[in-house]
Amino acid sequence: MSTPASPTARTNATETATGTPARIALVGAHGFGLVHLRNLERLTRQGAVVLDAVADPQPPEVGSVPEGTPSFASLGDLLAARPTPDVAIIATPLQTHGPLGAAALDAGAHLYLEKPPVPSLAAYRELLGHAQRSKRAVQVGFQSLGSHALPAIEALMASGEIGRVQSIGAFGTWTRDLAYYARSPWAGRRSLNGVEVVDGVVTNPLAHAVATALRIAGARREEDVASIETDLYHAHHIEADDTSVVRLRTAPGLTIMCALTLCAAESAEPWVTIYGTEGEADFYYTEDRLVVRTDHGEREERFGRTDLTENLLDHLATGAPLLSSLEDAGAFMRVLEAVREGPEPRQIGDDYVEWTGKGQAARPIVRGIEEALARAVKGQATFAELGLPWAAREEPAATLTLPDGQAVAELRDGQSLAPTLSPRPYLHPVHTLGGVTLTDHLPLDHPWHLGLGFALQDVSGTNLWGGRTYTRQVGRYVWREDHGRIALDDAETARGSLRLALSWEAHDGGILLREDRTSTATRAGDGAWRLDVASRLTAVQAVSLGGPGSNGNTGGGYGGFFLRLAPCEDAAVFTPDAEGEAAVHGRPAPWLAWSAKIGGAEAGIVVASAPEAPGDPWFVRLAGYPGIGSALAWEQAVELADGETLTRSFRVWFVDGPVDAARAASLVAAGGAA
């Protein structure tokens, strides 16, 4: 039963406003409670507070509290024995926050509540009701929200220095060993004895990253969050998540990507990145350090921080705004609720985890997790959407098989992709007969590169390639709100074939083109299979098909058929009469071949030029990243009248083993007959 507020408590709260030290009760004198004890010792020396009592089932450590400080086994015992304190600090296991917070508020105390405030949205709303009825203040312990960098970041975003804000990413790469999860019964649990806990990387250890990103995005209340998607995993053998991605969209439409792990190779300072059209800013919130990067250079600033306990006392004395109020934790609680209600975290397979250390110091490392987190944030994609081998499988929109039923490629409809990637259907992964994956998608360097497909950067002013747009006016790539999408209207599959009906949509939602795309797969002999893919574009209105080349970017005339290749080694690219990126790029040839080592296996690709346009140059990248394509508008745009049709068809061989000029020429000459 809650103890009613006492006259003494209300009198003391009034006296605090006139300079009397605030009487503090600390509930939870171990764990993070020790951090509060050190801070209270500092504030006591300043004459701002007095530690009135502590409550903990386990007596405080010797010397951790001032001699003579009353100690109780529970908050209830404390409230029954003493006048209600001005402020109760709750630093206890998170599943106890709600009942203890409510008891303190109902007794008339103001509240400092450690994060996360409570383990469910229903409990949050209930506690908020206690605070409103008691007219008591509640500060939530997201310490980073006291950083003086946050107002500076707000001013930075308003100034236009980094341009229009496109998205926000929260990164956390920490490590946790077995001892971390053995320290208490609730550690790493989603529930304990039927009581909600939700102790995962998103909601507890790296919750500050989530809360900081939300604050920078201006999302404070429940209604400030429009949607949340979670993708949760663990390498530790626990209930909760230790490696996760959360994708949020705010009510105004800003995307926040949170990519967090406790299974990194080594711990690093977590940070939040603000991505703008003219630059970006990294906020290392544990250090109050801001790094701003634009085309004009890089600068770094360090800031101070307001202690949240002092801020709460200032609020009580002067009415200053709380920096981390319970009301402003609503957006974070929406995230916690999504984690709580979402699918249970999946175990990351042992094949993808390395263990280091011995005994209770042993800890898991998820191989390549740092790059995976970076790809998730840059591509605004979940681990499942990235297709990581340990992640949940994302079902394809369709599967392309050989006539005998062997699967060789999967179709992704691409419609969940970020708008700036120009969402569109594409084939990925594409395999050789021996199972070597030859394509990549959502790579860190160019997240808008998507397997095998068709795309153009400028269709009458709409970017259907993704990323920045090259403009003749400024002579460089710039971010514009010009991205469209290619929608999958229908897919017909049969053994050996795939037919797609597609709509090329403008950035304003209008239809520019209708596309009929057919793909057939057959065995080709010599360890290869052949893909015949044809794109038939019909203009719904008069359109211009262009790209960087037609807009003045000499040598950068990509657009049309494009294939982003898998990470590889010892790559070579050649045509019948030229070899190497410099010699092949930008020149027509009857066929182009690529050969490399992928994951230790040798494989290659041969592409015959489109018979409708044998003069189209090849686009090739080898040194910076592996990619090949056929340029539809190398130097000038292709104009289509209303109702006019353009077709480009390609024959592509996917080959196990190394490919040289003789093997490539043989495949092309044979026409791929088995």
pLDDT grade for 560, boundaries at 50, 70 and 90: very high
| Dihedral over alpha carbons 169, 170, 175, 180 (to 10 degrees) | -150
Q: Contact 629/621 with Cβ under 8 angstroms?
A: no
**DSSP three-state, residue 430:** strand
Q: What is the mean pLDDT of residues 82-111?
A: 97
pLDDT grade for 4, boundaries at 50, 70 and 90: very low
**What pLDDT is stored for residue 474 in this prediction?**
92
Nearest CA to 343 among 262, 246, 231?
231
Query: Which residue spans within 28-75 are E strands per DSSP?
Result: 49-55, 71-72
Show the tokens assigned to 490: 């229908």
Mean pLDDT of the chain: 95
- Whole-angstrom CA distances from 388 to 82, 322, 393, 506 are 57, 42, 9, 31
pLDDT for 24 beyond 90:
yes
Q: How many CB atoms lie within 10 A of CB 301?
A: 14
Q: Which residues contact 45 (CB under 8 A, 6 or more apart)?
A: none
**What pLDDT is stored for residue 35 in this prediction?**
96
The pLDDT tens digits for 233-255 are 999 999 999 999 999 999 999 99
Rounded to two decimals, the pTM is 0.94
**What pLDDT is stored for residue 163 in this prediction?**
97
**What pLDDT is stored for residue 5 in this prediction?**
33
- Whole-angstrom CA distances from 532 to 323, 462, 498, 594, 610 are 61, 28, 10, 18, 11
Domains of the chain from N-terminus onward: 7-114 (3.40.50.720), 146-304+324-384 (3.30.360.10), 395-670 (2.70.98)
DSSP string, 538-580: EESS-EEEE-TTTTT-TT----EEEEEBPP-EEEEEEETTEES
The pLDDT tens digits for 370-429 are 999 999 999 999 999 999 999 999 999 999 999 999 999 999 999 999 999 999 999 999
The pLDDT tens digits for 185-242 are 999 999 999 999 999 999 999 999 999 999 999 999 999 999 999 999 999 999 999 9
Q: Contact 55/92 with Cβ under 8 angstroms?
A: no
**What pLDDT is stored for residue 671 in this prediction?**
83
pLDDT for 19 beyond 80:
no
Q: What is the CA radius of gyration of the chain?
A: 30
**What pLDDT is stored for residue 446 in this prediction?**
98
Query: How many whole angstroms separate alpha carbon 142 and alpha carbon 224?
Result: 18
The pLDDT tens digits for 102-154 are 999 999 999 999 999 999 999 999 999 999 999 999 999 999 999 999 999 99
- Note the Cα 567 to chain centre separation in Å: 22
The pLDDT tens digits for 621-637 are 999 999 999 999 999 99
pLDDT for 650 beyond 70:
yes
The percent of residues in the chain predicted with pLDDT above 70, rounded, is 97
Q: How many CB atoms lie within 10 A of CB 633?
A: 23
The pLDDT tens digits for 497-550 are 999 999 999 999 999 999 999 999 999 999 999 999 999 999 999 999 999 999
Would you tell me the crossing angle of helices 121-134 and 97-107 to the nearest 10 degrees?
A: 10
Query: Which residue spans within 213-338 are E strands per DSSP?
Result: 225-234, 243-250, 255-261, 271-276, 279-284, 289-294, 297-302
